[in-house]
Amino acid sequence: MLSYRHAFHAGNYADVLKHLVLLKSLEHMLQKPGPLLYIDTHAGAGRYPLNSGMAQRTHEHASGAGALQFEALSSHFEHYGQLLESYAHKGLYPGSPLIAAEILRPVDKLKLFELHPTDQPSLSKLFQNDRRVSVSKSDGHHALKSLLPAPQKRALILMDPSYEIKTEYQQVVESLSEGYKRMPTATYLLWYPVVQRQTIDRMLKQFKSSKMRNVWQFEFGLQADNEEHGMTASGIIAVNPAWTLPSLLVDALPGLKEQLAPDQGHFAINNIVPE
């Protein structure tokens, strides 16, 4: 369908959780000197002007990352806050591929996938001079079949689709299962929105019945589940996350709740499939 544009939502509360998890996962993996492969299956445009018509229409950044007082949050937010500040001076919010590129080293590689006819050229232009980065105009769901197992022996995969059609909730589990079968030691991060809780429950049941092990759920929401239209929460399913990540989020998420949704906010940290 390709109607979804992340520019409407860049820097919202869902991005805060997603990008904190991504940044901390990469920081942990970069403690080892060996090269790393980063795969972003739905990379978007890479960066988003905060003064664009799309951003101004929703104001989601203003009530998300733009509302955070980083000095009052746990130290785990420090690097994320520094990154946001450096791009805010340029009137931009950095997307997942740009955050990854900022922290990854010359020895590492980035494989980015995007199908949208507007976002893909912007993504290619953004990284045209970065020899570490390869941008493909193709379906990221198929990327894992061709790229895994990684020659680098280590990989982090971020899957962040639009969920424009309901079958994508099933497709993401199938895609990650395919990747896991090829490289069970890689780290997989899957972002999901909570619009209807029963849809997420079905997806979690798929994970539990799959062959994937060491699967965690990290979720943050602004309001309780309801039957109204719209996203009430979002989360990350992490396969083989950094062993430090659950305790890190136990420390970090209460402060996020206090700043963004002190009354109805909620978070969850669950090991849904053990090692």
Phi, psi of 30 (to 5 degrees): -75, 0
DSSP character at residue 138: S
Q: Classify burial at 66, counting beta carbons within 10 Å of its beta carbon; exposed 0-12, middle 13-18, buried 19 or more.
A: middle
Give DSSP secondary structure letters for 95-125.
-HHHHHHHHS-TT-EEEEE---TTHHHHHHH
Which region, left, alpha or beta, applies to residue 172 given φ > 0 means left and ψ of -120 to 50 means alpha?
alpha
Beta-sheet pairing, 233-239 with 187-194: antiparallel
**CA-wise closest residue to 158 among 238, 83, 216, 79:** 238
Q: Any catalytic annotation for residue 108?
A: no
Q: Residue 215: beta bridge partners?
A: 239, 273
Instruction: Please identify which of the residues 108, 119, 160, 263 carries the catalytic annotation.
Output: 160
Rounded to an integer, what distance in angstroms lies between the CA atom of residue 11 and that of residue 16?
7
Q: Determine the 3-state secondary structure of 236 from DSSP.
A: strand
Phi, psi of 123 (to 5 degrees): -65, -45
Structure tokens at 269: 């940290």
Are residues 112 and 136 in contact, defined by beta-carbon separation less than 8 angstroms? yes
Give the catalytic positions in this structure.
160
